């Protein structure tokens, strides 16, 4: 059986990690069913079998793979139909896309989401979340939270995405593939936390709606934080 270990909120149906969303979208792309194994921050001992402490982890029969990009590569190798990455050049370029999109976009979103995440996670996870994130951010969650500054960063991050999506339906061209899922993970993250801080009618907004529509047509409504 195929199992996806992913981070959940106080409600186990609320899965919100951007990296886990990438893998959900990739599994859907491949037409592969999976059992969600929602875990809380305080349940991370359940990931010991993977030899590392982070989600996503995919367990597929005997195979255990962690890290969203490694999972994309595993899925293409194990299930070659409907490639996520394509040829070696595309696969190499995905590293660049990952690096280009892993700073301003998530930081801009996180400034508007960090307090919602703190509220949505299980009360038993809150001290861990606060301590680990404050250590990483170097300021308190309340000092970091700043939806207005987040919007300014988000607008910078959206500009190149809007430019590409104004001329083609998906980041990977006429059909979605790895680049779309890699970036869309951050948008599903915000969406599952009950936010949509980007304009709905923009190229990015319409692209997100297309991906959301495809996901929900197959797997039902995305559980969103109240």
Ligand X SMILES: N[C@@H](CCC(=O)N[C@@H](CS)C(=O)NCC(=O)O)C(=O)O
Q: What is the 3-class SS of 151-187, one letter each residue?
A: HHHHHHHHHHHHHHHCCCCECCECCCCHHHHHHHHHH
* Residue whose entry in the numeric block shows the structure tokens 């599994």: 27
Please select the residue that binds ligand X; options are 54, 115, 119, 149, rule is CB under 6 A.
Answer: 54
Residues of this chain, 57-76, that bind ligand X according to CB under 6 A: 67-69
* Spatial separation of the C-alpha atoms in residues 126 and 196, rounded to whole Å: 24
The set of residues, in sequence order, having a beta carbon less than 8 Å from that of 18 and lying 6+ positions away, is 106, 185, 186, 188, 189
Q: Given the complex with ligand X, which of 5 and 170 has the nearer CB atom?
A: 5
Q: Given the complex with ligand X, which of 17 and 179 has the nearer CB atom?
A: 17
Q: Given the complex with ligand X, which of 39 and 145 has the nearer CB atom?
A: 39
7 lies in the site for ligand X, by CB under 6 A: yes
94 lies in the site for ligand X, by CB under 6 A: no
Residues of this chain, 123-152, that bind ligand X according to CB under 6 A: 132
19 lies in the site for ligand X, by CB under 6 A: yes
119 lies in the site for ligand X, by CB under 6 A: no
* Spatial separation of the C-alpha atoms in residues 128 and 85, rounded to whole Å: 35
* Spatial separation of the C-alpha atoms in residues 125 and 26, rounded to whole Å: 28
Q: Given the complex with ligand X, which of 178 and 203 has the nearer CB atom?
A: 178
* Residue whose entry in the numeric block shows the structure tokens 């949509």: 196
Residues of this chain, 177-216, that bind ligand X according to CB under 6 A: none
How many residues touch ligand X under the rule CB under 6 A: the total is 12
Judged by the rule CB under 6 A, the positions of this chain that interact with ligand X are 7, 17-19, 41, 54-56, 67-69, 132
């Amino acid at each position: 059986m195929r199992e996806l270990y992913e981070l959940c909120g106080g409600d186990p149906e609320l899965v919100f990690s951007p990296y886990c969303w990438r893998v959900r979208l990739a599994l859907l792309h491949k037409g592969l069913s999976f059992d969600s194994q929602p875990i809380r921050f305080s349940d991370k001992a359940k990931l010991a079998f993977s030899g590392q402490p982070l989600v996503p982890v995919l367990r597929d029969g005997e195979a255990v793979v962690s890290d969203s990009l490694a999972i994309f590569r595993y899925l293409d190798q194990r299930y070659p139909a409907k490639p996520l990455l394509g040829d070696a050049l595309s696969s190499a370029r995905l590293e660049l896309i990952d690096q280009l999109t892993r700073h301003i976009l998530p930081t801009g979103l996180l400034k508007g989401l960090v307090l919602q995440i703190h509220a949505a996670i299980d009360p038993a996870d809150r001290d861990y979340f606060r301590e680990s994130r404050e250590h990483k951010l170097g300021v308190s969650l309340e000092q970091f939270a700043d939806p207005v500054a987040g919007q300014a960063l988000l607008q910078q991050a959206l500009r190149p995405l809007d430019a590409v999506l104004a001329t083609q339906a998906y980041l990977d061209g006429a059909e979605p593939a790895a680049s779309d899922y890699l970036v869309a993970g951050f948008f599903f993250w915000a969406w599952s936390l009950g936010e949509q801080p980007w304009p709905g009618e923009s190229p990015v907004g319409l692209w997100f709606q297309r991906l959301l529509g495809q996901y929900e047509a197959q797997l039902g409504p995305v559980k969103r934080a109240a």
